[in-house]
Structure formats: structure tokens, C-alpha cells
Amino acid sequence: MNDDELADDLIPGGLKKLKSYHSDYGKKTYAEIKKLAGANPPDRNARQMKKLIERVKHLKDKPRRPR
């Protein structure tokens, strides 16, 4: 997963219906979202977007992992 990719390019449409998806963060890069999520105080929306992006990465990698 590339840090420079936009959140909207990393999160599939099906997950964009969720409450934890925040469209105003869609044009931010993964790197920007990680930075905001780790800020003090943390940005809750960024944290939720980061979780969604990492969830997608986990699922995309799944068929490559040994069973």
C-alpha cells in the first residue's frame, strides 16, 4: 500500500456506505491520514479512515497468505 495514494482510491465503494467512512477525508493521502490519526489529540475521523484503509489491505493480502 502506497503512502501517497488517496484514501478514496484505497477504500472500495462498498465500504463508503459506512458511518466510519468520512468523505471529507477521501482526498487526503494515506500518509496524511496516518499523521492525523496519530496526532495529539487524535483525530477520530482520521483514525476511523486509517482503520478502513488497513482493513482493505488486510483483506487484499489474504489470498496470498498461507492457509
Q: Using the rule CB under 8 A, give the single segment among 2-10, 25-33, 34-42, 51-59 that binds other proteins.
A: 51-59
16 binds other proteins (CB under 8 A): yes
26, burial (CB in 10 Å: exposed 0-12, middle 13-18, buried 19+): middle
Cα separation of the two ends of the chain: 22
Residues 30, 4 contacting (CB under 8 angstroms): yes
Q: How far is the CB of 57 from other proteins (least distance, A)?
A: 10
From 6, 15, 29, 35, residue interacting with other proteins (rule: CB under 8 A): 15
From 1, 18, 31, 39, residue interacting with other proteins (rule: CB under 8 A): 18
